A and B are shown apart, each in its own frame.
Chain A
Amino acid sequence: MDKKQKQNDEEFYQSFLNESMQDYAKNHKVPEENQKRLINAGRNHALKTNIMITLAILLLIVPVLTLSSYLYYAIGGKANHLIDITTKTIYVTEPNMSLEEMELEEDIGFFTMNIYFDVFKRIGKEDYKAGEYSILIALDKPNFPERDMKLERPLPITGDMETDMLYHPDGPYGKKVNSDWDILEHLPDGTVGEIYLSLNHLIKPEELENQFGNKVEVRWVAVDTGLEDKNLYEAGYSVAPIGYPLQVDTSTWSPFNGEKSNEEVFLDILKFLTKDEKTAEKISRARSLALKERISYIEKNGIQVYGAVVTGPTSELRKLKDNDLIKVMKVGEMKLWNWK
C-alpha cells in the first residue's frame, strides 16, 4: 500500500514539475532578437559607465595633486617659512643686498615650489636692481638658486673668505691682495660707487660709522665670528663673510626696519637660521654657515666688524685711501651721479 502511494506521489510530483517548467518556458520566452538587443544595451551601458568612471579618476589626478601640494605648503606655514629663510639668508650673507619682499612671487607645482625675486644694491643714493633669483624647492629642500646677476663685478657663485673681497686682518687671505685705488683714480667725479673695505683691525660697528665722514654711507658690515681669521684646516668649514646692513631700512619690508637695533635683528636671524641651516646653506653662496659656532662666538665676544661695504661719490671714496683703518679696498659697482 505504502509503496503504491509513494509511486503515485512521485508521478504526481514529476508531472507537476514538468508542467511548471513548461509554464515557465512559455511565459518567459523572449525572442532571440530581443535577447540580443538586451545584451547589447547591457554591454553598452557597462562600457559607458566604465569609460566615464575611468575618465573621472584620470581627470581627478591633476586637481588632487595640485590641491595636496597647496595644502602641503600652506599647512603649518611651510611656504612662508621657506620664503623667510630665503630672504633672511640673503640679508646676512650678501653684502649690501636687499630685496623687495612684496615683489616676491611663488609658483607651486606638484609638491615643488618655485620662488622668484629681485635683489637690489644701494649704490650712491639709489637702489639698483642687482639681479634675479629663482629657487626651486622640492618638498622643503631647495635646489641651488639660479642667479641672474646684472652687475659689473658680481661675486662668484660659490664664495669663501678668499673670493668675497672682505678680508679679515688676521686671516690667511688678503695679505697679497692689491687694492683697487687705481680704478677709483680713473673714474670721473660724476659717478657714485660701492666699495668693499677690509680693515686693519676689528672695530665696533657704531664706531665704524663715524670713520669715513658724512658723505660716505656704510651699507653693510662683515662680522668677525671666529672663523674668518683661520684657514680652511683650522676652521674646519669653508665659510664666507656674514654680516648685516648698518642702516635702518624703513622703506621696504626688511627685517632691519628699526623696531629693534640691527645688531639684535642680526643675531635673531642667525638663531632663526640655525634651525634650518642646511636650507640656508643651499641659498647662500657659502659652502657652510657653521651658525652654532658663530653664534656662540658672537655672544661671547660681542659684535665686532672687520670689513664693510660703503657707498658714496667717487671723489669722496678716493679720499679713503689715506684712512689708516683700511687695509684693502676692492671696487664693487659704479653708477652715474645720484648723490642728492
Chain B
Amino acid sequence: MATPAAVRIAERELLLYRRIWRENVIGAFVQPFLYLVGVGVGVGSLVDDGGGRAEILGDVSYFAFYATALLATTTMFNTSQEALWPTMDGFRWSNAFRGMIGTPLEPRDLATAFLLTFGGRALITSSGVACVLALFPSTRSLGLVGAVPAAVLCGLAFAMPIAAWTGSRDVDNTFPAILRFVVMPMFLFGGAFYPVEQLPRALETVAWFTPLWHAIELCRGLVLGGLDVGSALGHVGVLGLYIAAGWIACTIVFDRRLRP
C-alpha cells in the first residue's frame, strides 16, 4: 500500500525532530509556565483586587482569563517561527526542498506535508500548555482536551500563510519584522490580555479579522465555558479559511520557487 506523499515528507521532519525533541518539549512546558507566573499571577493579583473586574470579566479570575489565551498565543509564536527560518533552510540554505522535487514528489505535496509537520509541532506546544493549565484549579477542565486541537488550528492559521511568505523570499531580512509587526501586535491586541471590547471600536473591528482572536475565544470558551455552538463553528470556520488560503498560497509559491 502506497504511503501518501505528504506523510513521506513528514518522515524527514520527524527524523530531524528526533535531534531536538528534548529542548522542544521542555520549552513547551517552561515558556507558558513563565508567562503564567509573570503575567497571570503578577498582573492578575492587581486586576483581581482592583475595581471593575467583575463587570468586565464576570466571575472569571484574571489568571484564568489570561491563562486560557496562552494555549493560542504560545502555539502562534512557536509555529510562526517554525514557518520562518527552518522553512527558509529547505528553500535556500540546505536546498532540501529542491532535492525533494527531483523525485516523484511535487511542490503541492510539500505544502500538504506542512499541514502535518506544523500541525505536529503545534500539537506538542499546545499539549505542553494544556498540561501546565491542568496544574491550576481555575483552569483545570475537560475543555482542555478540546482546546488542544483548537490551538493546533491556530498554529496552522499562522504557519501556512507565513510559510508561503517564506517561500517567496530570497533573504531572511524581513523575518524579524513579521514577528514584530504582524505576530506581536496580535498578541497585544488580539484579546489575550483583556477582552477586545475594551479597545476603541476601530481596533476591535480589526481584531475580529485576526486568526488569533478567534483562536483565543475558542480556547477560552472551551476551557472556561460559555461558548455557544454557533460561535464555536464560526471561529473554527475562520481559522479554517486562513489555513486553506495559506495552503493554496503555498502551492502556488512553492511551484514558482521550485519549478521556475
Chain A complexes with chain B: no
